[in-house]
Structure 1
Amino acid sequence: MKAYRFHGFLLAFSLINLFQNTAAIYVTRLSNLKCKSFDEEMAVFQECRLRVVRRGLSAATVHIKVLRPITELMVNVAIYKKASGYKPFLYNTTYDLCRWKTGGIQNVLARIANNFIAEFSNINHTCPYEHDLIIQNMTVSEDKFKLMPIPPGEYM
């Protein structure tokens, strides 16, 4: 069986970070989730949704149906800052997830993202991926966002 490459990405867990300048209060909210497969013969998104758990807390669920073994998986992460519309900001990088899982990428942002996702997903080993990739009810506490190296503002 021949393994194929899958180039796709989660088009940002669109995050809105509202930082208040008074008493260092941070409010972080998942506001939007968009998913797109660039090769639907390889893998498709069966589920891509954001559910409100309670005020100020949302849970993301993503289910990627893998149709052929994935030996290369590229993930694009982009952050946009709200300033008269959303403008590209500091981070817009593409990671080779297979290389990342083998320890080949030593990036602070990638490490933080891995810590967010690890406890909610089955994406916990190196390539090839021959099974569905699932992130189930991923909630993000505002404490984790305090680790992000970004200035105050509203982001997507």
Structure 2
Amino acid sequence: MAKFLIAMVVGTALALVAGVFWRRWRKAQLGAKRQLAMLDLRDQLAQMSPQFLKAAAATGKPRGLAWKTVDLHEDTAFATERVSGELYAMIDATVSFTAIEGGGMEEVEAVSNLRSATAVFVHRNGRWDTDGRVVFNLDPSETVAHYEESLEPVSIGS
């Protein structure tokens, strides 16, 4: 009976130690994947602008305006979503619109003004993607700070 108890204690201890090492290894793996994704983003910026423009235009927002151009810049802030752990990139952008005929905005002079915004991208299934979400009048760092309840800032190298 004593040998059985010793075997149980040793087995439990080994399982706990293995669990600790596995969690550390998994955390390191996820961190490495996250770092690679953040570095990969810079190489993909040129291809991401048309992708974002198409997705943003499909949202139908803002009402009465058609998306004309989106220029993505290098200023980027990264964050992870606190619940899902997904990696987000907030990218500085300059957006321009044109008025849609009959949309009620044709007479508004400010329609043609360039707008400062943050384009939102998410890293899923090994690639960067977007649903066209945009945050106007906040730069990428301000956007992460604004959504601090659901986003946790991440920096390259951390």
TM-score, structure 2 normalization: 0.27
Which one scores higher on RCO, CA 8 angstroms, separation ≥ 6? 1
Q: Which has the larger radius of gyration?
A: 2
- The structure with the largest helix share of the pair is 2
Higher strand share: 1
